[in-house]
Structure 1
Amino acid sequence: MADRFRVTLAQLNPVVGDLDGNAAKARQAWEQGRDAGADLVALPEMFITGYNTQDLVMKPAFHTAAIERVRALAAECADGPALAIGAPWVEGTSLYNAYLICKGGRIVATPLKHHLPNETVFDEMRIFDAGPLGGPYVVGGVRIGSPICEDAWHDDVAETLAETGAEFLLVPNGSPYYRDKFEVRLNHMVARVVETGLPVIYLNMVGGQDDQVFDGGTFALNPGGELALQMPLFDEAIAQVDLERTPEGWRLIGGEEHVHPDAWEQDYRVMVTGLRDYLAKSGFAKVLLGLSGGVDSALVAAIAADALGPENVRCVMLPSEYTSPESLEDAEAVAKALGCGYDHVPISEGRAAITRTLAPLFEGLEPGLTEENIQSRLRGLLLMALSNKFGEMLLTTGNKSEVAVGYATIYGDMAGGYNPLKDLYKTRVFETCRWRNANHRDWMMGPVGQVIPPRVIDKPPSAELREDQKDSDSLPDYAELDAMLEILVDRDGSIADCVASGFDREVARRVERLIYLSEYKRFQSAPGPRLTKGAFWLDRRYPIVNRWRDPS
């Protein structure tokens, strides 16, 4: 009976739908594990398909192809360590989220996910069937239990595995980021260790998929909750973890423990990773954005430069007669500090032509919001023309505060393919700019040092669509607005909750009304990286037409 057992942990970044590419990554990880003397090479949940597949995995041609690709991979990896990989699995008419154990050229075990998450970004109950509570599988004479992701957030799966002979737990995950989530995961896994008395290995994937970024952070715990291994956040990595048989059972031998950065850095890394992977996985290499001289577009430019390199970022200033000289100076200063391309495209001539075209229809009517929005929509038209001509994805620059209350022009400044700030409130935009000016990391492709001039951060925000316009003319102060939005959106709270927190009831009612009225805009808005559990899209699904208002 062996007294040592080595597991190769492959914290990798799959691409949804790229069965051959994901299989090639798994094969490379398996070869590294084989060369390192591993007994088992482990990959995350649903790795062969990528995750989150949503309804794609229900397509029979797709899940059949995924299963056959794992069968072929098993044959390719016949001579060496066992391979464990997440994949769909079909039994009869049921479709499961499974963990396929391959050894000797074939699939030898198929643990099935029992608890199907049906909250936030997950909708697995409508996609998969729930598997039964099962027992461990055997590799090299060692009995291993694999609760799949959500299964490890409940006590029954792990306890059943322990009761049926599992000697340690290997938990494959497709667990996406939200702020402070690592502590939540760690607490759940400590609970499983305490309940079962078994070592636990928590394996997570990395990389961006649409609005979700998987942050890795794979770790291992010994009985008692002692940390034995902690892999980096966000980076692809392969690590070996060894277990040793003792009189008390198997114990993990301590490995490297990477220190995790703070929440500000993690959020920024998510925005960079989300943009970088969204572009790479959808076939784009370059971006452009409207650079207004304001703080939001400056931060998007910095994120883009850090994600792609400044040479792949085009900044475009589209001034009107309402654009201040300071904004012109600030926009150029940001582009220069980042080293991005910079174009100056005035809109006055085009706007005058549109005004003349509409004059017969608008005769006798006072100018107002319509004329302001024409400016924004003309900018959107010009930016999309540049995007089409040069093959550069247009980025939108609206922050979560604006997205929440609809302070944006649909088909205007909302035009574009991706929004890095979609889940970042305005008050956090200011602080994130200051953080980026003070910090640089090796994963950033942009320059070191101050890239957003302090004047850009400190000046009063303005859309500059009319004379002397300020955001505060239309909205509460951002500190007040964001605090109410966190109650109404992130915490799903009420008007009464806002009043209890010290806010004026009528102001809170107005904010709530704006949230509901702008649902149709969000339905058509660009995706962006999820930073919280209150992100717009899959976390929060509301009807577009809705007459209900909170009566409290």
Structure 2
Amino acid sequence: FDEKRYFRKGEKPFMVSLNGVKLGFSVCEDIWHPDGWERFYALCGAEVLININASPYYVGKYQFRESFLKARAQDNLAYVVYANLVGGQDDLVFDGRSLIIDPEGRLVFRASAFKEMVKTVSLPLEKVKSKRLMDLRLREKRLDCPSFLELQDERALPYLEGEVEGELAEEEEIYRALELGLRDYFFKSGFKKAVVGISGGIDSALTACLAVDALGKENVVGVFMPSPFTSEESKKYAFELAENLGIELLVYPIDEVFNTYRRLFESEEINLAEENLQSRIRANILFYLSNRHHWLVLSPSNKSESAVGYTTIYGDMAGGFAPIKDVYKTMVYRLARYRNSIKPDIPEGLFVRPPTAELRPNQTDQDTLPPYELLDQILSLYIEEGLSKEEIVCRGFDRAVVEKVLDMLRRAEYKRKQAPLGTKITERSFNGDWRMPVINFWKG
């Protein structure tokens, strides 16, 4: 969506006649508009409208995409061939799912999601001619049309029916999007391995699974960094996860470094500064390994925590890439369940133990935050759906809780501005869709 910064707009249409079949080409959002290039090409006699695209993914987008492409095919009484990119670039992932729609608005071909493929499909063009004979819409206008570029292809090809790939369940679709986004970021950036801090929690467990599935277990290293507040339960889960995934697990206790800092600052109590200090010590270890071995540090920070600032800047939110950055905590659990349905690598206990950062004795996330089921609903209504505070309260949510969540969201803006990239899976991610200033007194 930044093309105008770098490219000059084209000056004339691109129309080709291949063996007498007239084709009209458009790019990306050209096809969004009912009276755009597709209508022009159809009025000039084009029977096939080809749209080349790099349409980034988010959950639910492809259903919307198919619905307006069907309208273009029906309105213009032509085949619509929609060719979409597959792969990851920075925070975006492109899901492919190229498709063909006939003049009646029926889907006759859909490619796989998140997978490159080449398919040949035969189009019975007599359907275009018969539909146009019976419909006056494309015969009423007359345009001064440029000539078509004439091309010939003498190959004799067999008639090949199109296949429509089925839809994916939401968890599988999101998991595959995250996997592809991480894989392309890693390999296109030229890293040797990825390193993940394994805490014994659900976020780092899902991040490690994504890394293994995307990069191969031989390219993933886990690091367990226990503090004085790390439970035996967390240690057990961390070692169990690493063994199940078949990855190397390095162990660096941080007790001595942590106590050195406390002596330096004459710190006798465990307050917020001491909690965050542990997280930052761990980040230093991970980035040392990154510098030493050219490994990519993967941050396990999720969208719920990032939204309300329940994450340590230069600590657990630091990294070269954050695979689950745009994933709400409730979806983290759903994705972990999905991953375990394929291969049960995540210890079952992680699904039932209360979420905890383990930065002070007997700590749980719900000491500070509303339950994630409630928190995620409020965040989604405000961020994705754009509802105001009053509108959310009118949905039946407690006013005090809504005000607390939105206040935390505003105050955490400066942290999010300094967070690493992570794959976008929602309509409004914190990467580029959430355009909020850091200094902001708006209380709506």
**TM-score above 0.5, yes or no:** yes
The equivalent residue for 1:294 is 201
Q: Counterpart of 2:430 in structure 1: which amino acid?
A: F
Q: Counterpart of 2:357 in structure 1: which amino acid?
A: A
Sort the Cα spacing of 1:315 and 1:505 in 2 relative to 1 into closer, same or farther, 3 A.
same
Does 2:212 align with 1:305? yes
**Hey, what's the Cα distance between the residues in 1 that align with 2:351 and 2:340?**
11
Q: Counterpart of 1:504 in structure 2: which amino acid?
A: D
2:334 counterpart (431, 443, 454) = 431
Shift of 1:254: 2.8
1:221 counterpart (101, 104, 118) = 101
Q: Deviations over 1:146-202 (max 9, x none)?
A: 221111111112112111221211111101111121111110110001101111111
The residue correspondences of 1:262-281 to structure 2 (distance < 5 A) are 262-281=169-188
The residue correspondences of 1:122-521 to structure 2 (distance < 5 A) are 122-131=1-10, 134=13, 136-157=15-36, 158-246=38-126, 248-249=128-129, 254-359=161-266, 367-439=270-342, 449-521=343-415
Provide the secondary structure at the position in 2 that maps to 1:136: strand
Sort the Cα spacing of 1:500 and 1:141 in 2 relative to 1 into closer, same or farther, 3 A.
same
Residues 167 and 250 in structure 1, CA contact (< 8 A), matched pair in contact too:
no
Sort the Cα spacing of 1:331 and 1:182 in 2 relative to 1 into closer, same or farther, 3 A.
same
The equivalent residue for 1:10 is none
**Hey, what's the Cα distance between the residues in 2 that align with 1:256 and 1:127?**
38
Residues 198 and 224 in structure 2, CA contact (< 8 A), matched pair in contact too:
yes
Shift of 1:491: 1.4
The alignment's C-alpha RMSD in Å is 1.8
Sort the Cα spacing of 1:201 and 1:369 in 2 relative to 1 into closer, same or farther, 3 A.
same
Shift of 1:259: 2.0
Residues 78 and 128 in structure 2, CA contact (< 8 A), matched pair in contact too:
no
Residues 205 and 216 in structure 1, CA contact (< 8 A), matched pair in contact too:
yes
Q: Which runs of 5+ in 1 are unaligned?
A: 1-121, 440-448
Q: Deviations over 1:459-479 (max 9, x none)?
A: 100000000000000100000
**Comparing 207-216 and 154-163, the one that deviates more:** 154-163
Q: Report the structure, 1 or 2, having the larger strand content.
A: 1
Residues 136 and 165 in structure 1, CA contact (< 8 A), matched pair in contact too:
no
Q: Counterpart of 1:149 in structure 2: which amino acid?
A: C
Residues 133 and 160 in structure 1, CA contact (< 8 A), matched pair in contact too:
no
Residues 309 and 408 in structure 2, CA contact (< 8 A), matched pair in contact too:
yes
Q: Counterpart of 2:113 in structure 1: which amino acid?
A: L
1:527 counterpart (421, 429, 442) = 421
- RCO comparison, higher one (Cα < 8 Å, 6+): 2
Q: Counterpart of 2:315 in structure 1: which amino acid?
A: G
Provide the secondary structure at the position in 2 that maps to 1:242: coil
Q: Counterpart of 2:222 in structure 1: which amino acid?
A: C
Residues 422 and 431 in structure 2, CA contact (< 8 A), matched pair in contact too:
no
Shift of 1:138: 2.8
Q: Which runs of 5+ in 2 are unaligned?
A: 132-158
**Hey, what's the Cα distance between the residues in 1 that align with 2:9 and 2:389?**
39
Q: Deviations over 1:299-352 (max 9, x none)?
A: 000000101111211111111111111000011111111111111111000111
Residues 380 and 413 in structure 1, CA contact (< 8 A), matched pair in contact too:
yes
Sort the Cα spacing of 1:367 and 1:335 in 2 relative to 1 into closer, same or farther, 3 A.
closer
Residues 295 and 456 in structure 1, CA contact (< 8 A), matched pair in contact too:
yes
**Hey, what's the Cα distance between the residues in 1 that align with 2:264 and 2:60?**
53
Sort the Cα spacing of 1:129 and 1:542 in 2 relative to 1 into closer, same or farther, 3 A.
farther
Q: Counterpart of 2:312 in structure 1: which amino acid?
A: T
TM-score (norm 2): 0.90
Q: Counterpart of 1:207 in structure 2: which amino acid?
A: G
**Hey, what's the Cα distance between the residues in 2 that align with 1:305 and 1:516?**
35
**Hey, what's the Cα distance between the residues in 1 that align with 2:241 and 2:270?**
33
Residues 135 and 161 in structure 1, CA contact (< 8 A), matched pair in contact too:
no
TM-score (norm 1): 0.73
Residues 202 and 218 in structure 1, CA contact (< 8 A), matched pair in contact too:
yes
Sort the Cα spacing of 1:288 and 1:495 in 2 relative to 1 into closer, same or farther, 3 A.
same
Provide the secondary structure at the position in 1 that maps to 2:208: helix
**Comparing 130-139 and 198-207, the one that deviates more:** 130-139
Provide the secondary structure at the position in 2 that maps to 1:387: helix
Sort the Cα spacing of 1:247 and 1:401 in 2 relative to 1 into closer, same or farther, 3 A.
closer
**Comparing 530-539 and 255-264, the one that deviates more:** 255-264
**Hey, what's the Cα distance between the residues in 2 that align with 1:548 and 1:318?**
40
**Hey, what's the Cα distance between the residues in 2 that align with 1:188 and 1:395?**
37
Sort the Cα spacing of 1:409 and 1:318 in 2 relative to 1 into closer, same or farther, 3 A.
same
**Hey, what's the Cα distance between the residues in 2 that align with 1:547 and 1:123?**
29
Sort the Cα spacing of 1:500 and 1:213 in 2 relative to 1 into closer, same or farther, 3 A.
same
